[in-house]
Structure 1
Amino acid sequence: MLRNYFKIAWRNLLKNKSSSFINIMGLTIGISTCMVILIFVRYESTFDAHHSNAEKTYRIVQRYSLPEETLYWNTTAYPLAEALRNDFPEIDVVTQISGPVSRVFQVEDNFGNVKRFEESQVLFVDAQYPKTFDVHWLAGDLNSALSGINSVVLTAELAKKFFGLEKENYNSILGRTIFLQSKDPFTVTGVVASPPGNSDHQYTMLIPYEFFKINNEYFSSNWSGNYQGTTFVVLRSAKIKEALEKKIAGWKKKYLNPEDDKRIAYALQPLKEIHNETLYGNSPGGYIMPANILNTALIVALFILLIAIINFVNLLTAQSNSRSKEVGIRKVMGGGRFNLIVQFIFENSLIIIGILALSVFIVRILLNFLNTNLSVIDLQLELGWSHVGILLFIGGLTLALAAVYPALVVSAFKPIQALRNSIRFSGTNRFNLRKSLVTFQFAVVQLFVIAAIVLAMQMNHFRETDLGFSSDAVVITETPEFEKLEVYRERLLGNSGINKVAFGSGPPMAVNGIQLGTNYRLPEQPEEEVMMAEMKIADIHYLDFYDMELVAGRNFLGNKEAFDEFIVNETLLKSYGWNAEEAIGKKIQINEGQATIVGVVKDFNNNSLQNEISPCILLNWTYYQSNAFIKISDANHLSLGVIKNIWEQTFNNSIYDYQFLEDSIEKEYAVENLVFTGFGIFSILAISIGCLGLFGLMSFMISKKAKEIGIRKVLGATLFENLSLFTKEYIGLVALAFLVAAPLVYYFMNQWLEGFTYRIELSFWMFLSGGFVTLIIAILTCSFQSIKAALANPIYALKEE
């Protein structure tokens, strides 16, 4: 019997080649897209869930309360970890990490050749780190590998890179020596596997925290500062979290000064929430994937799958008329409905199982493409056994909707109507189920199209907004030796392709995590009235380099080892109600010292456009001028080679690297770009699936109305009248779908835009454009088949009985 069912299914596929192809392609695209999205969502929502202590591990975060605002920090003072470890026996494990940071290492290979490498993922960890987070050891003893101050643990990839290992003989490099910055020797005491991609702690090298502590005594002992240190705790039970937070609230005054004790409140954030929670942000070196983005992606995946299934169901039920005589004969011959249901479910299931197999193949290709080309985040997506549940969910849902429903419809045909080929679906002339499904499909398509238009406009708004400074053709390089800055400048300006050079802590907009913070107040104000500002180190050429406008006062006259002058932005003046002229000559106290305001610069976007402009203080301080800013001729890319040669001549003990400022600013909108790209792709996919379904449905309807078209043509109907026979119905459905989609997309897009300080306003034309695009696509899809039928010779349609 099954063999017979298989033959019938195969013959029906061959009999309806075009419609079968359309059906298979539409459902394959839908299932493949849905699987990729679900795999991505699972990947992004399970960060650090692989650690055995994940359920009991928490990050210590802090709220910093000021008179006018509250700041939320994911890093804490370095001494916090040791104090918690000593004073709270109910905490099983406390670990302190710093970084990741970039460092230069010197290694001697097996042939005596000395090589230098710059590693950007160096993590300082204490001996409790492997007890908190699962680390897969390949060589060395986890209990002692990080106990020595000058010990170092490498990942397998870095071990091969440093020592040229051809085989996985990691024990052979234990005891080898590498040098930090050509001076500090480290002994290799362990080799570990690289952390999984869905881990917020990405590293290539682990160095004992004690080394960091000894070499950064001020930072590691300062309770008032916050210098990229992160503290994690493992509790004996998750139930004691709230009680412990209350206990810490009273305990902290033991170490904090009275003012900090009032301002700072510590909280325990569950490890598994860190990656998707936006309030505190991610630890240094990581990125946030907001939970609302993932929830939206889940909805998108479901919609894409549903419209693909709707296509499949619509085409199968539409084609069911061609099998009505088969159903009638089998029922007259005594065939029961149950047997018919089993047969049609079997036939449809065979097709769906084949589509699932094809989808798995396509998904592997798509995941590799995403991993390679999605540069905004470092993805390591792969299809494995852990995704069997996703495949079963999609397959089960598809089988339930796309295999069972058509089988129930076809098996319900009445024998007499079936043999007369006079099957009529209920509500044919009214708003029946098929029209409802088509309307739903168009509504989803319009939702995607309108959302993509809004996203494109917002991203374009980001690109066109005046940032208050010039960012064109700016190359940024590091300056590892402060004493050589002027030599570097003179050598650069000696080249005709280089227009300007300036030095500072970072560009005007805080990019790449480069942002220095400080407190500020008037000298006569008490310390509890301090406010927060960004601190930028800038030389005398900085304002001119970035075309920043002074609205009052003057520029710095010279760079100084001990600063005595400030230039502030207009936003800072609002704190005291000053105008620009009033501010000149006023003194301000910051954490690093006191100085006089000598200039006021016009507001510029010192934060990315998701956030407001914050108070900013520029210092003429030679300390921390760690970056060089180089303006090159737009078309002169030869200047990049010149910059590299000059840099290597000047800083010959370091490794050269550079970046364009515009690229760094673009990375600040990585998640937004990801959302925009995703919705653009999903819109194209939704339109493609919708067009395939509509094309197949129109093909079937035209084949059924071929004689009607022929008669109309013989009786004098024009081409337009024959076209309107098919298109007017779908124009109405598109209009109805627009009325459904427009309010939904308005609500969701308005919610999304509220997250931006600088945002576009939703306009009616954006919605009309989306509806118009969908309408044109629907008309073109219908017209292609309709014109073909309307132009055909009516004799061929009328001569057949």
Structure 2
Amino acid sequence: MVKNYLKIAIRNFWKHKVISAVNILGLTLGLTACLLITTYVLDEVSADKHWSKNKQLFRLIEVKQNGTAEEKSAFLISHVANTLHTKFPEIEAYTRGNHLGTLFQYGNKTASAQSWIVEPGAFPMFDFHFSEGGVRKENFDNHTIVITRDYAQKLFGKEDPVGKVVSQVSYYGSPESFKIAGIIDNIPTNSHLYADVLVLKKYATSYNEPQAFGTVFPQYVLLNENTNPEKLSAKVSAYMKTLLKSPVKVQIEFQPIRDVRLKSHKIDNDGSDSLGDMQYIYLFSVIAVFLLLLACINYVNLTTAQSLQRGRETGLRKVLGANRREVTWQFLIESVGFFALCWLLSLWVYKLTLPVLYTFIGKPLTINFTQSLPLFLCLALITFLVSILTGIYPALLHSSYKPANVLKGFFDKANDRGNLRRVLVVTQFFVSTLLIVATIVVYKQLYFINHKNLGFYKDNLLYIESWLDKSPEAIKHEILQDPNVVSMTVSSWSPGNMSSGGMSMIVPDPLHSGESITVYGLGADFDFLKTLEIPLKEGRDFDMSYAADRIDIDSLMEIDWTKYEKADLGKSLIINETGVRKLGLKNPIGASVQFNGMKGRIIGVMADYHSTSFHNEVPVILLRANPQFKYGSPLIRIKPGKLAKTTAKIEAIWKKHFPDRRFEFTFVDDRLEKLYLNEQQLGKLFGYFSALAIFISCLGLIGLAAFATERRTKEIGIRKVLGATVANIFTLLSKDFLKLILVAFIVAIPLSIYLMNQWLQKFAYRIEISWWIFALAGVGIMGIAILAVSFQTIKAALSNPVNSLRNE
């Protein structure tokens, strides 16, 4: 019996080649897209779950109350984890340390690496499986490292690296030597703790002493199995408040390590630009379901549209003795077989396109359906269930026909499912409209970001990734001798990252009782405003002729912090417009302000500039300047068209003064563009998904148009005999489809407005959703739909009526 069902399915497939091809193409594309998206989603949601103790591992988060808002940071003062481990027995182990981009050299070979500084506590916390070597307590001497298998291959090839000594070429200071203690298995690329090298660190005793200010970095703890992190957070926060006697309300939270990758977008993280967003995971999951749904709708529509042809077949089978159950099984087996064929094709296309996905997201994924038997079997089961659910309705529909009626060419009205097909077509173009509107809005926001005035001129501005901590004036003078260099400054601001500006503090909001404001302190030399081309709104710039401008507060902080805090230095400061407004300074020039103990006076008001991304509002900035600023990185403005030649000269000067340091630079406009990497990828994905959704939907339209014209062949012939033109016939056959698409478009408008407004809330500075976005989406989708059905309708309109009426 099954063999007979398969023979009939193959015969029917071959008889209706066009419809079969449309179904195969649509289902294969839908399944492939669903597979690719699912691979990415599963990779993201499984991040950091491979650690065996992941339910006990937490990252410490500092939460400062800023009025009604909270400021969360993964940077904590160095002593916190050690202090808590000593005080609270619920904390079994801890480790502290940054992730850094480094360069190691062995012989004549160098290789860049992502390094993670770890303490002894990291090894009982995380699963670092050694394939060679190992670590002991004495290895934590600040000059020992552990490397992964891939990095060992990269730097040493086939040579055994254990016991070898390598040099780290740094941005700062002279190269350091490190001995390799062992080789560990590769850390998965989806872990936010991904690293090629573990640097074994032993901190000085001063790092463990409780203090309000000092070095900050990410810190991780391992809690006892039965510890409640919320209750422990309350105890820890109360203790830290008593210990530090801080006037600011500060809490310590325990963020599960499993949540770090996807639930950290509201936290000031450890410099990582690779963290994801759980909202995007939900969004991509819905899109994957929608794309598969569109393909399934095509199958249902095209299968039920064959009612006339398959109805006679069903009627004849029933006359010859087949019952309804047997006919139902026939159509279900056809559906399963069809999906099985498309599933195999989609796996092949998936394997071909997976490298493209890796390139798009910038890394290989840890999950691959073709290489994991459990995932493969799970996928096969899901596809089987989808094929049953998709095929059940056409099977029940065709098996319900009465033989006497269908053999005469009549179908019961109860069996006429034209309304259902209309609903399914509306659903397809409803989804397509949502994706088109989303694509336009994302690209319009990106265009707004790229063309909005940032408050400074970002083009032709070079940023060197290093501190200019010795002979800054001599190096600056030499670089400025190049006629292609317009100006140069050294500052603590890393473009796109306000937290790199040195220090921040929370002060009471003078305009709103009970509220507070975060003020950022930014250090630079005297040419900061000139180099960035930030205009002054009031007052003056820094000037060597003023003694208050020349006060070197950084050197004073190094000598005696207590003296620095108590001294009324009258140091000259420049504030931005937001600072004037939020601090309620009606006459800012000459006003006295206090920042982290330092008392100074405002000499100028600079225009607001976007120091971070458009996700954040312009903060309050106090700019202090030293004639020779040592604790910052160079920003150099170069004449247009002279970038390559001038950069080479700057590198030569740099290497002369810092022969042992890495020279690495970026352009500020490129750095700022990377702040919107997620949005850029989202825009591209929406564009691809929109095109795919429209293509799948239009495949269905083509099939439905073909059947509509076939069923109305004689009607078209009669109309042409009675004088109907090609335009009349085209309008007759197209208007029903266009009505459905118009309904889909109208229904999609309110939901697309709501969803895109929700997405735009991520930005402090954003566009308004204009009416023309919907007009463009509507015209586009209507035009594409007309093109999709035009071939069949025009072909029918141009046909000779004699051919369609000669059998009457």
TM-score by length of 2: 0.90
CA distance in 2 between counterparts of 1:474 and 1:450 reads 35
**Residue 98 of structure 1: aligned partner:** 97
* Contact map agreement 1:506 1:627 (CA 8 A) in 2: no
- SS of 1:432's equivalent in the other structure is helix
**Residue 524 of structure 2: aligned partner:** 538
Map 1:67-146 → 2, pairs under 5 A = 69-91=69-91, 93-107=92-106, 109=107, 113=108, 119=113, 121-142=114-135, 144=137, 146=139
**Residue 419 of structure 2: aligned partner:** 432
**Residue 704 of structure 1: aligned partner:** 711
CA distance in 1 between counterparts of 2:799 and 2:49 reads 63
The one-letter code matched in structure 2 to 1:40 is: Y
- SS of 2:211's equivalent in the other structure is coil
* Contact map agreement 2:486 2:639 (CA 8 A) in 1: yes
Residue 531 to residue 342, structure 1, CA distance change in 2 (3 Å): closer
CA distance in 2 between counterparts of 1:731 and 1:184 reads 70
2:145 aligned to which of 146, 152, 167? 152
Higher mean C-alpha deviation, range 546-555 or range 243-252: 243-252
Map 1:26-65 → 2, pairs under 5 A = 26-65=26-65
Deviations 1:197-254 (A, max 9, x none): 11010212111231xx23xx76664632364422222222355323322322332245
CA distance in 2 between counterparts of 1:562 and 1:281 reads 27
Map 1:5-24 → 2, pairs under 5 A = 5-24=5-24
2:181 aligned to which of 186, 189, 195? 189
CA distance in 1 between counterparts of 2:678 and 2:44 reads 12
Shift of residue 696, structure 1, vs aligned partner: 1.1
1:671 aligned to which of 678, 682, 692? 678
* Contact map agreement 1:200 1:283 (CA 8 A) in 2: no
Map 1:388-787 → 2, pairs under 5 A = 388=376, 391-392=379-380, 394-423=382-411, 426=414, 428=416, 432-506=419-493, 509-510=496-497, 514-519=500-505, 531-558=517-544, 561-562=552-553, 564-579=571-586, 582-591=587-596, 593-621=598-626, 622-634=629-641, 637-787=644-794
- SS of 1:276's equivalent in the other structure is coil
Higher mean C-alpha deviation, range 409-418 or range 218-227: 218-227
CA distance in 2 between counterparts of 1:245 and 1:395 reads 45
CA distance in 2 between counterparts of 1:456 and 1:74 reads 31
CA distance in 2 between counterparts of 1:474 and 1:380 reads 38
The one-letter code matched in structure 1 to 2:131 is: L
Residue 491 to residue 249, structure 1, CA distance change in 2 (3 Å): closer
**Residue 362 of structure 1: aligned partner:** 349
**Residue 276 of structure 1: aligned partner:** 262
Residue 604 to residue 183, structure 1, CA distance change in 2 (3 Å): closer
CA distance in 2 between counterparts of 1:183 and 1:416 reads 92
Shift of residue 19, structure 1, vs aligned partner: 1.4
Residue 145 to residue 339, structure 1, CA distance change in 2 (3 Å): farther
**Residue 557 of structure 2: aligned partner:** none
- SS of 2:77's equivalent in the other structure is coil
The one-letter code matched in structure 1 to 2:185 is: A
**Residue 559 of structure 2: aligned partner:** none
Residue 104 to residue 773, structure 1, CA distance change in 2 (3 Å): closer
* Contact map agreement 1:487 1:650 (CA 8 A) in 2: no
Deviations 1:656-679 (A, max 9, x none): 222121111111112222222221
* Contact map agreement 1:130 1:142 (CA 8 A) in 2: no
CA distance in 2 between counterparts of 1:397 and 1:571 reads 58
CA distance in 1 between counterparts of 2:631 and 2:105 reads 25
Shift of residue 301, structure 1, vs aligned partner: 1.4
Residue 38 to residue 102, structure 1, CA distance change in 2 (3 Å): closer
Count how many residue pairs are aligned between Structure 1 and Structure 2.
Answer: 774
Does 1:302 find its partner at 2:309?
no
CA distance in 1 between counterparts of 2:653 and 2:799 reads 74
CA distance in 1 between counterparts of 2:667 and 2:367 reads 28
- Identical-residue share of aligned pairs (%): 30
Deviations 1:122-149 (A, max 9, x none): 2111111121122232212255585444
- SS of 1:179's equivalent in the other structure is strand
Over the residues paired in the alignment, what is the CA RMSD in angstroms?
Answer: 2.8
Shift of residue 794, structure 1, vs aligned partner: 2.0
1:352 aligned to which of 339, 344, 353? 339
Deviations 1:427-463 (A, max 9, x none): 75x9611111111111111111122222222121111
Shift of residue 589, structure 1, vs aligned partner: 2.7
Deviations 1:437-493 (A, max 9, x none): 111111111111122222222121111211111011222223444324444434444
* Contact map agreement 2:42 2:367 (CA 8 A) in 1: no
Map 1:369-384 → 2, pairs under 5 A = 369-375=356-362, 382-383=368-369, 384=371
Shift of residue 276, structure 1, vs aligned partner: 2.0
The one-letter code matched in structure 2 to 1:14 is: W
**Residue 224 of structure 1: aligned partner:** 212
Deviations 1:101-129 (A, max 9, x none): 2345443x3xxx5x55554x221111111
CA distance in 2 between counterparts of 1:414 and 1:145 reads 87
TM-score by length of 1: 0.90
Deviations 1:70-98 (A, max 9, x none): 3211222211122222222233x322221
- SS of 1:191's equivalent in the other structure is strand
CA distance in 2 between counterparts of 1:393 and 1:595 reads 70
The one-letter code matched in structure 1 to 2:769 is: L
- SS of 2:426's equivalent in the other structure is helix
Residue 389 to residue 276, structure 1, CA distance change in 2 (3 Å): farther
CA distance in 2 between counterparts of 1:643 and 1:560 reads 29
CA distance in 2 between counterparts of 1:142 and 1:318 reads 70
The one-letter code matched in structure 2 to 1:243 is: K
* Contact map agreement 2:578 2:620 (CA 8 A) in 1: yes
* Contact map agreement 1:501 1:545 (CA 8 A) in 2: yes
- SS of 2:470's equivalent in the other structure is helix
Residue 417 to residue 491, structure 1, CA distance change in 2 (3 Å): farther
The one-letter code matched in structure 1 to 2:233 is: E
- SS of 1:583's equivalent in the other structure is coil
- SS of 2:246's equivalent in the other structure is helix
Residue 692 to residue 145, structure 1, CA distance change in 2 (3 Å): farther
Shift of residue 752, structure 1, vs aligned partner: 1.4
CA distance in 1 between counterparts of 2:646 and 2:209 reads 44
* Contact map agreement 2:51 2:126 (CA 8 A) in 1: yes
Residue 308 to residue 209, structure 1, CA distance change in 2 (3 Å): same
* Contact map agreement 2:58 2:257 (CA 8 A) in 1: yes
Q: Which runs of 5+ in 1 are unaligned?
A: none
The one-letter code matched in structure 1 to 2:759 is: W
* Contact map agreement 1:95 1:233 (CA 8 A) in 2: yes
* Contact map agreement 1:469 1:508 (CA 8 A) in 2: no
- SS of 2:95's equivalent in the other structure is strand
The one-letter code matched in structure 2 to 1:366 is: T
